[in-house]
């Protein structure tokens, strides 16, 4: 089997091993592949592995020997899964690997917004503590999480993990999920989406990006939030109207935001959020701890193995 990895670098910049995949066939790993290079590189591939390199219907049609597509992520919107299905090509994803890591990033942003460890440390190294007439000082409001309300939108794997951590901080948990009637009411108080925005000190987004969730954080909902509230988005950038969020942050409509994802990635130079007050952005790394990437690669290898053995798993287009 000829196996081509189109864009292996983001998953494995060198600290993981491709040996598991190599044991299953003749493997070529490309760090990145431009759209114009796909057909050349994959023309005789049996198995194609992609993370974010798009595989359109036209590209799939140009790959006559292709038998399987493995996506190195949970989201598989980069592949035209229907075009693959028409050719009888299974497309697989990695349904879960990063739950703990993403929930940890949510609290990295929350703890940063509530205590500003980095900014305070920077002032110490800049000599501000030496010059202080008091034994301590703080340059940002310091906020205790105990007793605060976290509002979770999308109460799936990551949302529930965030709730579990929030409980350890003695926070009150409210949540909105499209399927909340099927969920355990002991895990959160389920409310409607507008109540989440109105009644939370922190709103954290954990629903997938669908047509009906795009822009769920809009001007009106931001205006309904507490002026002391924070928004956390580790899910997908287009859930948020970025211009509306920038305006809300710059006008004190809400107090801060912690974002791991933006509408276009890598971020564009003119993304308005780069000019927003008390807004902190990480470059889509919530998934990328070494542990989570290791789990992802193990699942990707076992997906290929299952396919070769005639028992494909994690197929998203059956």
CB of 75 to ligand NAI, least distance (A): 6
The whole-angstrom separation of Cα 111 and Cα 104 is 10
Contacts for 234 with CB less than 8 Å, ≥ 6 apart: 102, 105, 106, 109, 158, 204, 205, 206, 259, 260, 261, 286
The whole-angstrom separation of Cα 229 and Cα 97 is 30
Q: Which is nearer to ligand NAI, 184 or 212 (CB)?
A: 212
Q: Which is nearer to ligand NAI, 42 or 152 (CB)?
A: 152
- Does the annotation count 131 as an active-site position? no
Q: Which is nearer to ligand NAI, 74 or 302 (CB)?
A: 74
Annotated active-site residue in 116, 236, 293, 295: 236
Q: What is the DSSP secondary-structure string of 206-259?
A: -S---TTTTT-B-HHHHHHS-TT-EEEE-S-GGGB-HHHHHHHHHTTSSSEEEE
The whole-angstrom separation of Cα 177 and Cα 191 is 9
Interface residue list for ligand NAI (CB under 6 A):
74, 98-99, 102, 153-159, 176-179, 206-210, 212-213, 234-236, 260-261, 284, 286-287
CB of 51 to ligand NAI, least distance (A): 12
Find out whether 253 and 227 touch, Cβ atoms under 8 Å: yes
Annotated active-site residue in 221, 284, 293, 295: 284
The whole-angstrom separation of Cα 315 and Cα 303 is 9
Q: Closest residue to ligand NAI, Cβ-based?
A: 156
The whole-angstrom separation of Cα 60 and Cα 218 is 37
Annotated active-site residue in 37, 119, 144, 265: 265
Hey, how many other C-beta atoms are within 10 angstroms of the C-beta on 205? 25
The whole-angstrom separation of Cα 15 and Cα 3 is 21
CB of 39 to ligand NAI, least distance (A): 29
CB of 33 to ligand NAI, least distance (A): 21
Q: Which is nearer to ligand NAI, 135 or 179 (CB)?
A: 179
- Does the annotation count 265 as an active-site position? yes
- Does the annotation count 31 as an active-site position? no
CB of 265 to ligand NAI, least distance (A): 10
Q: Which is nearer to ligand NAI, 47 or 163 (CB)?
A: 163
Contacts for 112 with CB less than 8 Å, ≥ 6 apart: 118, 258, 280
Helix axes 290-308, 99-115, angle to 10 degrees: 160
Q: Which residues are catalytic?
A: 236, 265, 284
């Amino acid at each position: 089997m000829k196996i081509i990895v189109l864009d292996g670098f983001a998953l494995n910049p060198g600290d993981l091993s491709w040996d598991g995949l190599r044991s299953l066939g003749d493997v070529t790993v490309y760090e990145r592949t431009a759209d114009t290079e796909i057909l050349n590189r994959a023309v005789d591939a049996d198995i194609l592995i992609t993370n974010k390199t798009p595989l359109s219907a036209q590209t799939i049609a140009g790959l006559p020997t292709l038998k399987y597509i493995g996506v190195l992520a949970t989201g598989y919107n980069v592949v035209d899964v229907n075009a693959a299905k028409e050719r009888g090509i299974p497309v697989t994803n990695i349904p879960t690997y990063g739950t703990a890591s993403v929930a940890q990033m949510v609290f990295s942003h929350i703890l940063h917004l509530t205590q500003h460890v980095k900014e305070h440390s920077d002032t110490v190294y800049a000599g501000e503590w030496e010059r202080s007439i008091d034994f301590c000082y703080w340059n940002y409001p310091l906020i205790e999480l105990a007793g605060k309300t976290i509002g979770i939108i999308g109460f799936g794997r990551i949302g529930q993990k965030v709730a579990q951590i929030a409980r350890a901080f003695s926070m009150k948990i409210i949540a909105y999920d499209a399927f909340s009637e099927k969920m355990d009411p002991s895990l959160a108080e389920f409310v409607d989406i507008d109540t989440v925005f109105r009644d939370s000190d922190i709103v954290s987004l954990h629903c997938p990006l669908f047509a009906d969730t795009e822009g769920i954080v809009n001007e009106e909902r931001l205006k309904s939030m507490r002026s002391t509230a924070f928004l956390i988005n580790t899910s997908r950038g287009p859930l948020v109207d970025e211009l509306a969020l920038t305006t809300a942050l710059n006008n004190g409509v809400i107090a801060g935001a912690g974002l791991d994802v933006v509408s276009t990635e890598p971020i564009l130079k003119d993304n308005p959020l780069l000019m927003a007050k008390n807004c902190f952005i990480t470059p889509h790394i919530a998934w990328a701890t070494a542990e989570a990437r290791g789990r992802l690669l193990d699942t990707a290898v076992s997906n290929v193995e299952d396919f070769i053995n005639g028992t494909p798993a994690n197929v998203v287009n059956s």
